[in-house]
Amino acid sequence: MPNVQLPPKENNLFKRILKCYEQKQYKNGLKFCKMILSNPKFAEHGETLAMKGLTLNCLGKKEEAYEFVRKGLRNNVKSHVCWHVYGLLQRSDKRYDEAIKCYRNALKLDKDNLQILRDLSLLQIQMRDLEGYRETRYQLLQLRPTQRASWIGYAVAHHLLKDYEMALKLLEEFRQTQQVPPSKIDYEYSELILYQNQVMREADLFQESLEHIETYEKQICDKLLVEEIKGEMLLKVGRLKEASEVFKNLIDRNAENWCYYEGLEKALQLSTLEERLQIYEDISKQHPRAISPRRLPLNLAPGEKFRELMDKFLRVNFSKGCPPLFTTLKSLYYNTEKVKFGLYSVCCSLFTHFIIERDFLYSSNGVHLSLIIDELKLYACTISSVKGNVSLKFTE
């Protein structure tokens, strides 16, 4: 059936249907659809039928939705709106390949439609069609060269294809168009610089990344991330003394981040176990409330040293009644060497001390110890308390 052009009155109603769909006013949208379709002249208007189907789909009436959309497409197969709507319907049912075909058919009829191009690009990147995504983003850049999203989207396409040189070139060209004074802090500009630096790091341009982050650090909002990048890049370029200072400062800011300790160890180039344990002991004295500098040595220490550190670690935490203790130690439960050299025996001795000798002072301690012992798959431990009386039972 040839396309029927709506007169001004009905065309305004159709625009209101689109607006209702965007604002999720679906019932109002159906009313406007009915007003157009009730006119015998436009009862078979393809685009209105398609929009009615799309609206019904949003109300959970899928069968009716497909019926109306397909009917609308049959009535006006040369309408980009009908093909676009059919693609949206397919996308809602996760038939992404079919949705992409519909979008491509819609673009054959209206090749410069921005909304269809955006929807197509989203599905292409979701389906990992990176070549197609790059082409679509290039079209969007040509149509809207002044928009930030156009440049970033095209740069992301090259980034995902590992064409780092082109991605950096695009990002730098776009950055130079941004009128942001050096003294001003702009969040979006800050994120652009950080993304540019991320691409540099992935391209193994470590020296360039370090110089870049030092040049623009005053315009970056996330000061913590700046220091983390500095520490990582100083390690990469071999400036170990400076890297160690950066990681020490980061530990002072957050003594619970394990990555900072890993970076500090690399920067200090510690060769012996004693040196590594000493570093953690020193940090533990500087940050007595921090758990990580007392927990991480448990990963390193072997044999009797492990037993000694574990005993000390558990006693401190049970004295405080720390709730997350079971989770904190969980990674050790599957290390047969750690289990062999005392984790189980330490837990059992502490169980007796804290639960029986101390009158069930912290009931949660018993729960955590029983969880640890049970997790070791050596014994099952049962605790019960009736009016303050503790019953303890171990079974092999």
Structure-model confidence comparison of residues 2 and 314, the more confident one? 314
CATH of domain 1-127: 1.25.40.10
pLDDT higher than threshold 50 for residue 223: yes
Q: Half-sphere exposure of 35 toward its Cβ, with a 13 Å CA cutoff?
A: 16
- Contact in structure between 277 and 301 (CB atoms under 8 Å): yes
The pLDDT value recorded for residue 238 is 94
pLDDT higher than threshold 80 for residue 382: no
The pLDDT value recorded for residue 190 is 93
Range in 245-249, 289-293, 348-352 the model is least confident about: 348-352
The pLDDT value recorded for residue 350 is 57
Range in 31-45, 173-187, 288-302 the model is least confident about: 173-187
Question: What's the chain's average pLDDT?
Answer: 85
Alpha carbon 110 to chain centroid distance? 35
Domain limits, the chain? 1-127, 305-396
Cβ neighbour number for residue 225 with a 10 Å cutoff: 14
| Residues in CB range of 194: below 8 A, 6 or more apart | 220, 222, 225
Give mean pLDDT, residues 153-159.
97
pLDDT higher than threshold 50 for residue 379: no
Give mean pLDDT, residues 105-127.
95
- The span from the CA of 56 to the CA of 65, in Å, is 5
State pTM to two decimals.
Answer: 0.80
The pLDDT value recorded for residue 329 is 77
Give mean pLDDT, residues 133-151.
95
What are the b/e assignments for 347-364, b being 16+ CB within 10 Å? bbebbeebbeeeebebee
The pLDDT value recorded for residue 365 is 52
